[in-house]
Structure 1
Amino acid sequence: MNHGARTHPGVWALAVTAFAIGVAEFIVVGVLPSIAHDLGVPLARAGGLVGLYALALAVGTPIVVLGLAHLPRKPVLLWLVAVFLAGNVLSALSTSYAMLLVGRIVTAIAHGSFFAIGATVAARLAPEGQASRAIAMMFAGLTLAMVIGVPLGSLIGNGLGWRVPLHAVAALAALAALALLATALWVPKLSMPPAGKAATQLAALRQPAILSMMAVTLLGFGASFAAFTFVTPILTGITGFTTNIASLLLVVFGAATLVGNLTGGRLAASLGWQTALRRMLVALLVTLVALALLMPYKLPMVALLFVWGALAFGMSPGFQAGMLTTAERDAPRAVDFASALNISAFNLGITLGETLGSAMVARDHMALTPWAGVALVVLAQAPLAWLVRRSSRSIPVPAAG
């Protein structure tokens, strides 16, 4: 294992594109009230720009990846970036809620497919044993977008109007175009991975190991979102921070996600994804319990926000590396499709966490939202333990040829 190997330029190109996609996804969150007011729709309906984005991503990604299974990876990535640009420009030029929603859905489908296929490409560009670190580098572009995109987009949009940050996202077309060029130059021509017919790939959905890995991702990643969806009202209404300080603390959380993502990739590479996930899930459980108990206290909350952000997103490389490893063993002709299924699991986890949190908030139990996350972390232990036991009992079979 070569820990000192330099990152392939193609991985950097994928990370740049991931940053552009991440900003396009997250920038809407901070300006939803302005969008609702300007377009004359209820706030709950405007929230569909977030919820339907995640749903379109979860449903559309496996379908698109399945359709692209037999096409060369490099042209596919270039076309997905082009589709992302088209959806993003449509969103920026929207004059109605329907038009904006269509643009968001187009962007979401390109987003999910790019990450599903890009993760497998990043893994193939990495030195042996360093796939998790390469995936983490790519996902770092997404988490960096969260650090910069949400606070900056909220500040600009609430001060100058919601269209300004959306046009700023359209201006990222230049950045994404550079990423497009970089992808063309730096991602080498890759041999096609073995891909079976559609029925062969869909058979991955009947593999207990694939479904178990999806469950680990869905439950483990979704555990944070019952509370994180309402982190601003928690910080202002329960902890007692001002709105401005709460916005600043979101930057702290975002910075922690970036640190956690890179650190999580290193841990998954050095310890193995199974050990890394077991340890981080236990640490997340302890953190969420502490969050529930110490929510009224300012200083502990600041520290917990950083630890929470690092753990919540630090597991992402392990989740994705775990799915790729599982698919290579149990569904070798459907690796990209399995990667897409895991991208769906990430977003279904967000939906599950948000749904549980919303149900608790609707009953005036916002302070209890971290306990919903604790329950999801506990549930995630079962499929992960099964995967660990199964792996320890399996006997390596020499590859043919």
Structure 2
Amino acid sequence: MLLWSLMLVVFGLTTGEFVVAGILPDVAGSLGVPVPAAGLLVTAYAAGMIVGGPVVTVLTARWSRRALVAGLVGVAVAANAWSAVAPDYGSLLAGRFAAGLVVATFFAVAVTTAVETAPEGGQASAVARLTVGMNLGMVLGTPLGTLVGHAVGWRASFGMVAVLVAVALPLAVRSVPGRAAPGAGSAGLRVFADRGVLAAIALTVLGNVGVVMVFSFIAPLVTEVAGFPAGAVPVLLLVYGAGAVLGNFAGGWLADRALLPSVVGLLGALTAVLALGWTVGAHRVSAPVLVFVLGLLAFAVIPGMQTRVVTAARTAPTLAVAVNASGFQVAAAFAGWLGGGVIDAGDGPRALYPAGAVLTAAGLVLAVVVLLRDRRPAGRAPAAERDAVAEEV
């Protein structure tokens, strides 16, 4: 029941994050603003996540987990309900920022709770089951919300999200433990003095930025490069989502057996597949296979990366995961900007594949460094690390 209720909230929040993309023209026309200005609603949500990750988590660190979940999800319900009735563009922009403000902290609480309550050796699989809510929000919730918006009006899309999250609220509050998460208040900030924690967060950013860049431009990749009609894009997004769901479970299973080696192997495979995209992505027969495999590998690395952050940040895992989620949003914003630059450089969308491979290779190098560092004999650990271990004992 615990994982199911948390997954349901993640499903609703993810739907709220991505549904805007499907109703942007409707919002722009209704509020009398250009489509690029309406696109800032996506930026406002991401900005809320980036700011809210560290700030909200520190300010609420002494709250019991049950009260924290109730407050975070309650704000999400209110912000999405406000978005549904916002009278003007500025009000809607504020509503999207407020909706994003609580997401990173909630995701951090959900991940750390899933890891803490999972049986030994099953932590990454628990994270994978939780992340399925994100997959379903992308491949089911977002298209459903878009259909509702087109049929009834864009305000109904945000209303639907508010209802989804509100339905999950009592289940989540009843299921989570009452105690506070480890690492209370600003004292938890000391966790970021640990190089292992910083490396785990950097691994998430570097390891994901390449494939996020490619996914951000999936529409021109499958239409202009592979030659599919625009009507095929939703189908290919479902193909990507199917790979993502399978990858979640496979990645969790692998990470529970060999956490860092599985992350290294998956990043290596992702680098190779992105590099092959230059050739494979240009043909109608092979492009759907490429899209499926990219979805599979992109989400297979997530359970291991998230579990690594939790295990590295033993004293303040919730804060570390919240900052990790904020870092992912920064990477996503950077990926969109960089992808546009790659396309404008002259080689078109096809150049995104090798560019993504190079970025992912940087994440692979960092993963190898972290793996070798973990395997270093304890006697050769730096003095700071030995002091930290002694202090814990």
Q: Distance in 1 between matches of 2:213 and 2:48?
A: 20
* RMSD across aligned positions (CA): 2.0
The range that moved more, 358-367 or 123-132, is 358-367
Q: CA deviation at 1:380?
A: 0.9
Query: Which residue is equivalent to 2:226?
Result: 239
Query: Which residue is equivalent to 1:6?
Result: none
TM-score w.r.t. length of structure 1: 0.90
Q: CA deviation at 1:388?
A: 1.2
Query: Which residue is equivalent to 1:335?
Result: 317
User: Are the aligned partners of 1:225 and 1:357 in contact in 2 as well (CA < 8 Å)?
Assistant: no
- Structure 2 residue corresponding to 1:352, chosen from 297, 316, 334: 334
Query: Which residue is equivalent to 1:61?
Result: 53
How many residue pairs match? The answer is 383
Query: Which residue is equivalent to 2:120?
Result: 128
Q: Is 2:274 the counterpart of 1:291?
A: no
Q: Distance in 2 between matches of 1:164 and 1:312?
A: 31
Q: Is 2:178 the counterpart of 1:189?
A: yes
Query: Which residue is equivalent to 2:366?
Result: 383
Q: Distance in 1 between matches of 2:377 and 2:96?
A: 44
Query: Which residue is equivalent to 2:33?
Result: 41
Query: Which residue is equivalent to 2:383?
Result: none
Q: Distance in 2 between matches of 1:250 and 1:23?
A: 15
Query: Which residue is equivalent to 2:66?
Result: 74
Question: What percent identity do the matched residue pairs reach?
Answer: 32
Q: CA deviation at 1:149?
A: 2.2
User: Are the aligned partners of 2:70 and 2:173 in contact in 1 as well (CA < 8 Å)?
Assistant: yes
Q: Distance in 1 between matches of 2:93 and 2:247?
A: 32
- 1:209-259 C-alpha deviation (Å, 9 max, x unpaired): 222111110011121122211111221222111122122111111222122
The range that moved more, 45-54 or 318-327, is 45-54
Q: CA deviation at 1:160?
A: 5.1
The range that moved more, 158-167 or 247-256, is 158-167
Q: Is 2:259 the counterpart of 1:276?
A: no
Amino acid at match of 2:183: A
Amino acid at match of 2:286: P
Query: Which residue is equivalent to 1:361?
Result: 343
Unaligned runs of 5+ in 1: 1-8
User: Are the aligned partners of 1:213 and 1:383 in contact in 2 as well (CA < 8 Å)?
Assistant: no
Amino acid at match of 1:143: N
User: Are the aligned partners of 2:49 and 2:101 in contact in 1 as well (CA < 8 Å)?
Assistant: yes
Q: Distance in 2 between matches of 1:31 and 1:313?
A: 26
Q: Distance in 1 between matches of 2:159 and 2:313?
A: 40
Q: CA deviation at 1:185?
A: 2.6
User: Are the aligned partners of 2:104 and 2:323 in contact in 1 as well (CA < 8 Å)?
Assistant: no
Amino acid at match of 1:147: V
Query: Which residue is equivalent to 2:302?
Result: 316
Q: CA deviation at 1:356?
A: 0.8
Question: Using a 3 Å threshold, how does the CA distance of structure 1 residues 232 and 160 change in structure 2: closer, same or farther?
Answer: farther
Query: Which residue is equivalent to 2:375?
Result: 392
Q: Distance in 1 between matches of 2:321 and 2:250?
A: 21
User: Are the aligned partners of 1:135 and 1:265 in contact in 2 as well (CA < 8 Å)?
Assistant: yes
Counterparts of 1:154-233 in structure 2, within 5 Å, are 154-158=146-150, 161-172=153-164, 176-190=165-179, 192-198=180-186, 200-233=187-220
Q: Distance in 2 between matches of 1:108 and 1:322?
A: 24
- 1:164-191 C-alpha deviation (Å, 9 max, x unpaired): 323322332xxx333222123322434x
Q: Distance in 1 between matches of 2:58 and 2:37?
A: 31
- Structure 2 residue corresponding to 1:32, chosen from 24, 36, 39: 24
Unaligned runs of 5+ in 2: 379-385
TM-score w.r.t. length of structure 2: 0.91
